Chains A and B, each alone.
Chain A
Amino acid sequence: MMMEYTLFPLCEYAVTVRFADCIDEAVNEVVHGTATRLEAAKKEGIEEIVPAFSSLTIYYDPLVIDYIGVGAWLRKNIRRPEQATRRLARTVVIPVCYGGEFGPDLSDVARFHGMTETEVVTLHSTGRYRVYMIGFSPGFAYLGGLSPRLATPRRPVPRTKVPAGSVGIAGGQTGVYPLATPGGWQLIGRTPLKLFDPHREKPSLLAAGDIVVFQPIGDCEFARWRGEHD
């Protein structure tokens, strides 16, 4: 799919390419297709290509290439036929221990929707979620695809500390806290995986464009994962 786009300078060393201004799977698909293509065509002075929901931003060295040069490079490569550039989305399975001490808000979420806890877990863990973008904090993935039946308002008073790995719901979004931070999401479970580890070659477990599947696990498995991977 080819889309119209607008181009504007963000600062002396970055330009943003905007395809639309919405959260939409087809638009996001174009963003990732374009990012992949531009990544393959990188040239001297082009430093980083970072996809967002409906735009991507190209960071460059202004001492090597200027805004006009980046624009010309972009126009040349953005129009290439898509053959062989569309990569298959990677699926990442994230084990989650739902409820109990790891998901203190699971019962509230179930009550809010008039469901049982098991129904919430089944609905959440049968979804396929798309990583629209990484942002907000290191390793934090904005996921699309939460069942509207699970949309739940944030907690009225945010927690001062949410443990790393917590899986939560906020409005129509679901996500995993990569780091222990304050937060107001409804916590339904926790994963033993490290979403962000600065000492890994790829510090962020998830990348924009990935597909995420949540796999329910029990307490024992959670402890075993931790034991094996820490």
Chain B
Amino acid sequence: MIDVIESGFFTTVQDSGRAGYRHAGVPTSGAMDAWAYRLANALVGNSGDEAVLEATMAGPTLRFRVEAVVAVCGGDFPCALNGQPISLWKPEAVQSGDVLEVGVCRTGFRAYIAVSGGIDVPPVMGSRSTYVPAQLGGLAGRPLRRRDVLPVGAMHPFTAARSIRWGLSRLAASYIHGKTKTVRVIPGPEYDEFTPESRRQFFAARYEVTPQSDRIGYRLSGPALALVRERDMVSEAVVFGTVQVPASGQPIVLMADSQTTGGYPRIAQVAAVDLPILAQARPGDCLQFQLVASEEATRLYKEQHHRLIRWMAAIRRQWEGEW
């Protein structure tokens, strides 16, 4: 068990998402930054899809009632274990009674706090991910509150607590830095219906992430985008990363909790490879969109997947070496 001493700004339980229920109108949810989520799980010796805590902007303070291994990955959140600063992207052994403080994020926006054995809330529709609008999954379908108690699964024997002297190189976090983030996109289904000027602006200008941004979508601010001819759209599928443009002309990027269908014209689709970059953008950061072909986006996605597999295999070997 873990006691929640402070909840942080918006902390939810997330895993790899709730797949297979789009036909019932249920969003996939899951960790916004899959890269940090996967590596955090690997660092604590978890096998893959265990649930972690996703912290936003300001992290929680947690007291462990169990012996465990923890790792914090993602944005640059100052972290301390019993008051002593600890590194991100690195496994740490904790004893019963230890207190982990995850502070206020300096760059990036989200942190993934993984615990050996995973956060063991009951799965709902095959996932432990929290979807707040429908109160699904997680801890009673809501963000953490002070005095919550989180169940923890059984940890892998090879992570039995001792001091751990290794972690990931700074390369793991290289996508997080910078106030202006380059995000690759493929053309959206309605791309050709936008005016040539709008299509030019979309790539030439920078779009700022506004404070009206959350796990459902980021509202952006920048040059307004217009269709050649306004028309009524018939609702169609949308996914994490779809950039849609309502009548205001200000684009919205749909995120992990986005609904399954939408009725606004879609100018672009963020390449899956760059979704972690988007997940770590905070209000005030700027996005610079860059066009790539659909085949290129798929190639980049597979390449990233294989890079992740290699990193995870290296972590696994490190753990086996410890054992």
Q: Please list the residues of chain A having a beta carbon within 8 angstroms of any beta carbon in chain B.
A: 8-14, 16, 18, 21-23, 47-55, 57, 59, 62-63, 66-67, 133-140, 142, 178-179, 181, 196, 198-199, 202-204, 207-208
Contacts and interface: CB of A to CB of B under 8 A. Distances in A.
A204 B134 CA distance: 13
28 contacts: A8-B189, A10-B239, A11-B186, A12-B272, A12-B298, A14-B237, A21-B234, A22-B234, A50-B260, A52-B235, A55-B234, A57-B237, A59-B22, A62-B302, A66-B298, A134-B25, A135-B235, A135-B261, A137-B259, A138-B26, A196-B134, A198-B124, A198-B125, A198-B134, A198-B136, A203-B21, A204-B25, A207-B24
B305 interface: yes
Contacts of B22: 48, 50, 57, 59
Contact of A139 (B20, B24, B241, B297): B24
Given A133-B261, A135-B25, A198-B136, A57 B302 contact: no
Interface of B: 19-27, 124-125, 133-134, 136, 186, 189, 233-237, 239, 241-242, 259-261, 269, 271-272, 294-295, 297-298, 301-302, 305
Given A10-B269, A135-B261, A198-B125, A53 B234 contact: yes
A204 B20 contact: no
A133 B235 contact: yes
**Which 5 A-B pairs rank lowest in CB-CB distance, beginning with the nearest?**
A135-B261, A204-B24, A57-B237, A134-B25, A138-B26
Nearest to B239: A11
A97 to B, nearest CB: 24
A141 B291 CA distance: 35
Given A12-B298, A16-B189, A57-B237, 10 more contacts: A9-B294, A11-B272, A47-B20, A48-B20, A52-B235, A133-B235, A136-B235, A138-B24, A138-B134, A196-B24
B234 A134 contact: no
A44 B21 CA distance: 18
- Name the prevailing secondary structure of the B interface residues: mixed
Contacts of A48: 19-20, 22-23
Contacts of B261: 52, 133, 135-136
B272 A57 contact: no
Given A53-B235, A57-B236, A57-B237, A10 B298 contact: no
B125 A203 contact: yes
Instruction: Tell which of A12, A47, A53, A139 has the most Cβ of chain B within 10 Å.
Output: A12
Nearest to A8: B189
A53 B298 CA distance: 28
Contacts of B297: 11-12
B261 to A, nearest CB: 3
Contacts of B25: 134-140, 178, 196, 204
A51 B234 contact: no
A8 B301 CA distance: 18
Nearest to A39: B23
B219 to A, nearest CB: 18
Nearest to B266: A10
A142 B235 contact: yes
A203 B186 contact: no
Contacts of A139: 24-25
Contact of B23 (A10, A11, A14, A134): A134
Contacts of B23: 48-51, 134, 204, 207-208
Given A50-B22, A63-B305, A198-B124, A136 B259 contact: yes
Contact of A62 (B26, B189, B298): B298
Contacts of B27: 138
A202 B236 CA distance: 22
A87 B190 CA distance: 33
B52 to A, nearest CB: 21
Contacts of B269: 10-11
Given A52-B237, A198-B124, A67 B294 contact: yes
Nearest to B135: A179
Contacts of B260: 50, 135
A10 B305 CA distance: 19
Contacts of A49: 23
Nearest to A207: B23
A38 B318 CA distance: 45
A134 B24 contact: yes
Contacts of B133: 137, 179, 181
